[in-house]
Amino acid sequence: MSTPAIPVGTWSIDPAHSEAGFSVRHLMVSKVRGRISTFSGTVVIAEDPLQSSVEVTLDPASIDTRDAKRDEHLRSGDFFEVAAHPTWTFRSTGLRADDDDWIVTGDLTIRGVTRSVELEVEFNGTSGDPWGGTRAGFSAETEISRKDFGLEYNAVLETGGVVIGDTVKIELEIEAIKQ
């Protein structure tokens, strides 16, 4: 594994060129996709890449599944209880190499519940931008159990299945600007 070609320093996530998305099974036959539209964060690349860190804050009130009624339900006490828990956070606790990619371990807090998760991260490279800055790109994904975060709401179908699956796939496309 070679050391990534990313300059040491602090990088701010550019939300205009980044996306925090998710998908979950619906009626056991399809997936509903959504995204969190408002988030911010910092990536700190250390001299020793394994000492690097990530901190992200997300606004669950900005959830968008392309269905306003569903989004409002997700903001309610049945799910994210946004009024009482207005932010989600991710703070890395470790980093290790995985072939040509990286595994970032961290504490994810949703609805006041914190669990350790592992993100599979692909470093996509760096590039100069038209304004004299430097940008870096990352793709990341993980799967979580929504029940691990106290998200128990569901309904049983006549066929014995459930309306909402337990496994949530989280997919991130991040563009960060060197500070």
Assess if residue 54 is contained within a domain.
yes
Domain extent at residue 75: 9-178
Assess if residue 3 is contained within a domain.
no
Handedness of CA 37, 41, 47, 48 (dihedral sign): negative
Distance of CA 122 to the CA centre of its chain: 14
Assess if residue 1 is contained within a domain.
no
Assess if residue 58 is contained within a domain.
yes
* Distance between CA atoms of residues 100 and 122, nearest Å: 8
Chain length of the chain: 179
| CATH code for the domain in which residue 96 is found | 2.40.128.110
The pTM score is 0.92
Q: In Å, how far are 7, 9, 55, 103 from 45, measured between CA atoms?
A: 7, 5, 12, 15
Assess if residue 23 is contained within a domain.
yes
* Distance between CA atoms of residues 127 and 10, nearest Å: 16
Phi, psi dihedrals of residue 83, rounded to the nearest 5°: -60, -40
Assess if residue 77 is contained within a domain.
yes
Assess if residue 50 is contained within a domain.
yes
Q: What is the pLDDT along the chain (179 residues), one digit of tens a residue?
A: 444 578 999 999 999 999 999 999 998 889 999 999 999 999 999 999 899 999 999 999 999 999 999 999 999 999 999 999 999 999 999 999 988 889 999 999 999 999 999 999 999 999 999 999 999 999 999 999 999 999 988 888 778 777 889 999 999 999 999 99
How many domains does one find in the chain?
A: 1
| Burial of 91 (C-beta count, 10 Å sphere; 0-12/13-18/19+) | middle
Cβ neighbours, 10 Å, residue 55: 15
Assess if residue 4 is contained within a domain.
no
